Amino acid sequence: MRFLDKENLAAGEDWYGNNAAVTCYNCGKVFLTSQILHRKGRACPQCGACKVMFTKQGVEVSEAGDTI
């Protein structure tokens, strides 16, 4: 598990307002997660291996099976 750093985003990552885009570490698909629409987080729509969730600490990127 890791958190996005708004000041130091990696290639394939973006964070704007309550939306975050990340590249799945498993399949390479870029997918968008919305804090409003995906209140329980969102797993990669292609393979489900990566999950993104907005938390009090920020935007969390983890394996879909990890406890969030």
Q: Tens of pLDDT along 14-40? A: 999 999 999 999 999 999 999 999 999
**DSSP secondary-structure letter at 10?**
P
Beta-carbon contacts of 39 under 8 Å, excluding residues fewer than 6 positions away, are: none
What's this model's pTM, rounded to 2 decimal places? 0.83
Which pLDDT value is given to residue 63?
83
Distance CA 48, CA 16 (A): 23
**DSSP secondary-structure letter at 67?**
-
3-state secondary structure of 23: strand
Residue 22 near residue 30 (C-beta atoms within 8 A): yes
Residue 38 amino acid letter: H
Q: How confident is the model at residue 68 (pLDDT cuts 50, 70, 90)?
A: very low
